Structure 1
Amino acid sequence: MDDLTKLTAADAARRIESGEITSERLVQACLDRIAAREETVRAWAYLDPDYALKQARERDEWRKQGRTTGPLHGVPVGIKDIIDTGDMPTENGCAAHKGRTPEEDATLVAALRDAGAVIMGKTVTTELAVFVPSKTRNPHNPEYSPGGSSAGSAAAVADFMVPLAVGTQTGGSVIRPASFNGVVGFKPTFGLISRKGVLAQSPALDTVGVFARTVEDSALIAELLTAYDPADADMKPRSRPRLREVAIDTPPVTPMLAFVKGPTWDKAEKVTEEAFAELVEALGEQCDTFDLPPIYHQAPKWQKLIQTAEVGKYFGPLLDHAADGISDPMKEMIAEGRTIPAHEYITAKEFRDVLYAGLEEIFERYDAILTPASPGPAPKGFKTTGDPCFNAMWTYLGTPAVTVPLLDVDGLPLGVQLVGPRLDDGRLLRTARWLAEHLAQGTA
């Protein structure tokens, strides 16, 4: 019998639709995997196996009645525990929010239900989706960090507990844990997916992202979440991008990549330097190397300034009225954010489009920027979730980014990050799929 937990989401959906398998069988297989591994991985903040199976049986009954509801009919999905679910707690990884159960689903959760997905449960987040490490462990080696803040989502997908999960990124909270856990992480263009019902940490930066084990699966779930939602002020009315169709298509010409070390290259570990040197050499004429002007060295600082200032604003009431329910590092960040001068915050926001404009020449000539997803493999221990230094600039600039596994280092994954121009997410995913296939074949 097939190990159903190893199915991709796309394949699982096809098999459920054809009647080859049932959603109940798939969900039960995932629950069995969780039962066997959760004590080690600790990916779940909330899980009700009976309710997950109830959803699966409902979807199986609908299919028998000819009511298959969408591209993820019967497929289980994990939801980061800062995203509202009307039928499950959403505690934001924070003691001050313990027992919080929203009245309705976030827009993206409603979209997943409309697409037929089984909402498996809530995955672990760091406290308020910031930087204090969570209980989750890296499934490749539980002595190492899974990253953060979307730790549970990345680990659950990596450990075959679910084929798909949703997370968020404000600094590097999708790309970095995807790299550490050896899965595909996709952070779309800023404003492409609604954040209604998602914890507001830094609205100028907060971006919903997804985790999968293939690029096709990441495109499949992300496309379902991109419908315009006027409740999110940063979304603009536009036609839904054809992410999956473009992602699985053959590139019309062999993609060209621009290797950009970025302003934090000095933080790259030796293994990362060596891996990228080999990769760039293997890509040959398909990859050129670029150095960014010195002004880009300010981007990580400005990202951190915006995030800290908005943490001070949006989480300030917790410090004032529920300080016993937040950690000391969180208190310190909130207090720091309240001291940031308004003119520095405004300057940091104004320079985003200036710096993005400076990348247009690269994006006109190349399909994507190639850069590390993290300084190296996951750090040992749990004092940190890792450094988001290779992600912060791209989050700040609002560009789409995707990471695919590059290699294993002593049993730990290391990812490569591709970055594309705003609103060209489909081409970026297509390029990532091309690169992933070449990496798997050993031809790049």
Structure 2
Amino acid sequence: MLSVCQILEDIQAGRKTAAEAISQSRALIDARDGDIGAFLELADADATPGDGPLAGIAVGVKDIFDTYDMATRYGSPVFDGHRPPVDAAIVAMLRAAGASVIGKTVTTEFAFMHPAGTVNPRNRAHTPGGSSSGSAAAVAAGMVPAAIGSQTGGSVIRPAAYCGVTGYKPSFRLFPTVGMKTFSWSMDTVGLFAAKVVDAGRVASLLSGRDLEADPLREAPRIGLYRTSIWDQASPAMQNAIDSVAQSAADAGAHIVEIEEPDALSRGRDIHTIVQNFEAAMALGDEHRRHAAKLSDVLREALDDGYSTRPQSYDNGRRIARQARKAATALFNDIDVLLTPSAPDAAPVGLTSTGSSIFNRLWTLTGNPCVNVAGRVDPAGMPLGIQIVGRFGRDKLALQAARWLEETL
């Protein structure tokens, strides 16, 4: 895989130019994407590399974000040929930092559950996950060093886990969602993909202007082993991976504490779908009314569910969500991060499902920063993702702990 940090170091040392780095990514896309299907459209090949701290970094952008120079379809035939006049805020930030938006990556329909055509670079018989399937696959296949995705349920962490790359879902609203097609305004979150944790931290730092570098920790972190109340939904391979990682972390000096899931967080996970579908029914109301025939069955069913939800049920869901956020904050009084599965198992075989977000949706609801750490595999050699969850607003510590764990593994 391509490394953001290595590319920037090579450019600074004069070993390559920004233009050469971008050309390398374009050549790799041309050579590999025919088999993977991560990209929908590429930017003009004659575009001049940007000027800024991310100059030379080719970035794939999920086709849920507006781009002025490429079509934005939101994964739906409803928007075939749609050309926004301006960039989404995160795309504008990329360009301002000097990154080259090299192309639009495949998303599922409106970033929901209907599978798209991208395959998993680790094994093409398996799903790459969703909804940020193209972004995760583009990084995993070594075509680009970084990509932008989004998460409303598990759409950054899960595909990162399935494809064996770093996925970083920041604290809610750390990055703007302006110009991103809304599905659930209280949970939609911009996320990043990169080869390693240090690469994701570098991109996040240079984009946001905040110190989000995954610097080495001075001492081993305090880790809460969070099996959750749905532990039985993790496969034996995933359960073994979590236990193995916890033991490796303990052997390396980490203080491991078993954390029992509070009832408030279990309730939060349970109401995620109520809140999501109610908001989606409003956000996609016109698409549903005027273009229902162009929507997938799974999306129509979710929107119908949202329409049938009484406002009082939604308001109660929001109250439960607030209680869950408070309970989530309290978990970190004596620990630095939580350790939990990124997904129930490795990527399922076939392209008829994008997998389950059951181990992600709670943290999207609460807004906590999450990082997928690669490094474990199942008996068939497919990646098993380990999820690090941090305290809200403590993204740097979450990234640092994830890097420490990545290097420990």
Same fold (TM over 0.5): yes
Query: Once the 2 structures are TM-superposed, how far is the Cα of residue 89 of structure 1 from its aligned partner?
Result: 0.6
CA distance in 1, matches of 2:338, 2:46: 42
Query: Once the 2 structures are TM-superposed, how far is the Cα of residue 208 of structure 1 from its aligned partner?
Result: 0.2
Query: Once the 2 structures are TM-superposed, how far is the Cα of residue 299 of structure 1 from its aligned partner?
Result: 1.9
Q: Which of residues 169, 174, 198 is equivalent to 1:187?
A: 169
Q: Which of residues 395, 406, 409 is equivalent to 1:425?
A: 395
Letter in 2 for 1:282: S
CA contact (8 A) 2:156 2:192 kept: yes
Cross-structure match for 2:182: 200
Please say if 1:336 is aligned against 2:336. Answer: no
The residue correspondences of 1:204-353 to structure 2 (distance < 5 A) are: 204-226=186-208, 240-244=209-213, 247-248=214-215, 250-284=216-250, 286-353=255-322
Cross-structure match for 2:48: 55
Cross-structure match for 2:27: 32
CA contact (8 A) 1:184 1:404 kept: yes
CA contact (8 A) 2:121 2:141 kept: yes
Cα distance change, pair 96–360 in 1 and its aligned pair in 2 (3 A): closer
Letter in 2 for 1:389: I
Q: Deviations over 1:182-218 (max 9, x none)?
A: 0000000001100111111100000000000111211
SS in 2 for 1:186: strand
CA contact (8 A) 2:347 2:355 kept: yes
Query: Once the 2 structures are TM-superposed, how far is the Cα of residue 53 of structure 1 from its aligned partner?
Result: 4.3
CA contact (8 A) 2:78 2:291 kept: yes
SS in 2 for 1:55: coil
Cα distance change, pair 362–335 in 1 and its aligned pair in 2 (3 A): closer
Please say if 1:143 is aligned against 2:113. Answer: no
Q: Deviations over 1:125-170 (max 9, x none)?
A: 0000000001000001111000000000000000001000000000
CA contact (8 A) 1:112 1:224 kept: no
CA distance in 2, matches of 1:423, 1:283: 24
Please say if 1:436 is aligned against 2:406. Answer: yes
Q: Which of residues 79, 87, 91 is equivalent to 1:97?
A: 79
Cα distance change, pair 310–276 in 1 and its aligned pair in 2 (3 A): same
Query: Once the 2 structures are TM-superposed, how far is the Cα of residue 302 of structure 1 from its aligned partner?
Result: 1.1
SS in 2 for 1:359: helix
The residue correspondences of 1:65-76 to structure 2 (distance < 5 A) are: 69-76=51-58
CA contact (8 A) 2:226 2:340 kept: yes
Q: CA RMSD in A?
A: 1.5
CA contact (8 A) 2:241 2:384 kept: no
Structure 2, unmatched stretches of 5+, are none
Cross-structure match for 1:109: 91
CA contact (8 A) 1:80 1:166 kept: yes
Please say if 1:167 is aligned against 2:136. Answer: no
Q: Deviations over 1:227-248 (max 9, x none)?
A: xxxxxxxxxxxxx53101xx22
CA distance in 2, matches of 1:183, 1:52: 27
CA distance in 2, matches of 1:365, 1:92: 42
Cross-structure match for 1:3: none
CA contact (8 A) 2:2 2:144 kept: no
Query: Once the 2 structures are TM-superposed, how far is the Cα of residue 46 of structure 1 from its aligned partner?
Result: 1.1
Q: Which of residues 360, 363, 373 is equivalent to 2:332?
A: 363
CA distance in 1, matches of 2:219, 2:389: 18
Residue-pair matches, total: 405
User: Which aligned runs of 4 or more in structure 1 are off by greater than 4 angstroms?
Assistant: none
SS in 1 for 2:9: helix
- TM-score, structure 1 normalization: 0.88
Letter in 2 for 1:428: A
Q: Which of residues 17, 32, 37 is equivalent to 1:22?
A: 17
Deviates more, 1:345-354 or 1:6-15: 6-15
Cross-structure match for 1:66: none
SS in 2 for 1:77: strand
CA distance in 2, matches of 1:112, 1:281: 39
CA contact (8 A) 2:152 2:188 kept: yes
CA contact (8 A) 2:55 2:99 kept: yes
CA distance in 2, matches of 1:40, 1:170: 28
- TM-score, structure 2 normalization: 0.96
Letter in 1 for 2:314: Y
Q: Deviations over 1:345-389 (max 9, x none)?
A: 111112223222223343121110000000010000112100000
CA contact (8 A) 1:209 1:222 kept: no
Letter in 2 for 1:158: A
CA contact (8 A) 1:108 1:193 kept: yes
SS in 1 for 2:279: helix
State percent identity of aligned pairs. Answer: 36
Query: Once the 2 structures are TM-superposed, how far is the Cα of residue 328 of structure 1 from its aligned partner?
Result: 2.1
CA contact (8 A) 2:156 2:167 kept: yes
CA contact (8 A) 2:2 2:139 kept: no
